[in-house]
């Protein structure tokens, strides 16, 4: 039997948060770290620094300036794949195969802008179509994934449950918690019968947040957060789940990301 600790984190620039990544590693010792918004093209990614933290195996799909996803691992991958959706090569989805025949997908779903109208706001339309494209692919290949041990994680930019936001009624018309986004994310979850680990360990109505706006300097006092960062597993991995935690303290670190790491423990 072996334990695996997986962390996912929208780091909001790997080069700016490198010391915070070091802090996460020293305090929480994850075996695998999935990062979103690394904001570094391959020649600018700090490979040597990351390897010095104990992660010699790095799968990277990145571009200059924005987006970008990376998977850092202590163990070697058995293969990796970059995915594109909505006809865009925008560095939002990378997957690897791990030992024990486990597939791990790191996904950064588009934020969607500020106007929750796909006609008036093309960014919002992109977000909805992005989720639909992945869901449709997995629905159409559902038989190929039968019994598959699959983990998907990342910044999904949707807070699906009523208590994934600080005020359900007030945020129903705010991008990240609108009914149409929740519907699309629900379709994605149902495509392979994924289990939302957070709600497996902390069922509704417990409040859970992983993001607090930079515009809110009193985030600790008023706690106006949203749960935008997720780890899901297929039913074949349900019995391997051991623990789940949100590293809320990371929002108070020096020069923090507006997202905090989310961690899941597995036993095999």
pLDDT at residue number 1: 56
Q: What b/e readout covers 169-204, taking b as 16+ CB neighbours within 10 angstroms?
A: eebeeebbbbeebbebbebbbebbebbbbbbeebee
Average of per-residue pLDDT across 138-163: 97
pLDDT at residue number 152: 98
Average of per-residue pLDDT across 127-141: 98
User: Rounded distance, CA 261 to CA 23, Å?
Assistant: 11
Kind and range of the H or E element at 22?
helix 18-28
How many Cα atoms occupy the beta-carbon half-sphere of 47 within 13 Å?
10
Tens-place pLDDT, residues 244-266: 999 999 999 999 999 999 999 99
Per DSSP bridges, beta strands 32-36 and 3-10 are: parallel
Reported CATH class of domain 3-267: alpha beta
Q: Is the pLDDT of residue 240 over 90?
A: yes
């Amino acid at each position: 039997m072996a334990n695996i600790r997986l962390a996912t984190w929208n780091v909001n620039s790997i080069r700016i948060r490198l010391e915070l990544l070091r802090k996460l590693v020293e305090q929480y010792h994850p075996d695998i770290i999935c990062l979103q918004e690394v904001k570094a093209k391959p020649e600018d990614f700090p490979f040597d620094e990351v390897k010095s933290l104990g992660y010699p195996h790095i799968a990277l799909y990145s571009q200059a300036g924005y987006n970008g996803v990376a998977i850092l691992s202590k163990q070697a991958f058995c293969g990796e794949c970059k995915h594109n959706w909505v006809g865009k090569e925008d560095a939002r989805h990378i997957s690897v195969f791990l030992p024990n025949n486990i597939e791990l997908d790191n996904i950064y779903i588009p934020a969607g802008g500020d106007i929750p109208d796909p006609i008036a706001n093309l960014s919002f339309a992109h977000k909805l179509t992005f989720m639909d494209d992945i869901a449709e692919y997995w629905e159409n290949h559902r038989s190929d994934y039968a019994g598959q041990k699959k983990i998907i994680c990342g910044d999904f930019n949707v807070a699906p449950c009523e208590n994934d936001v600080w005020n359900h009624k007030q945020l129903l018309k705010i991008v990240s918690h609108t009914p149409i986004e929740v519907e699309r994310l629900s379709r994605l979850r149902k495509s392979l019968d994924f289990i939302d680990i957070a709600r497996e360990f902390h069922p509704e109505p417990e409040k859970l947040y992983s993001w607090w706006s930079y515009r809110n300097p009193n985030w600790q006092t008023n706690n106006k957060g949203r749960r935008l960062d997720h780890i899901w597993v297929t039913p074949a991995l349900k019995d391997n789940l051991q623990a789940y935690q949100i590293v809320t303290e990371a929002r108070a670190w020096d020069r923090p990301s507006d997202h905090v790491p989310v961690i899941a423990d597995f036993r095999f």
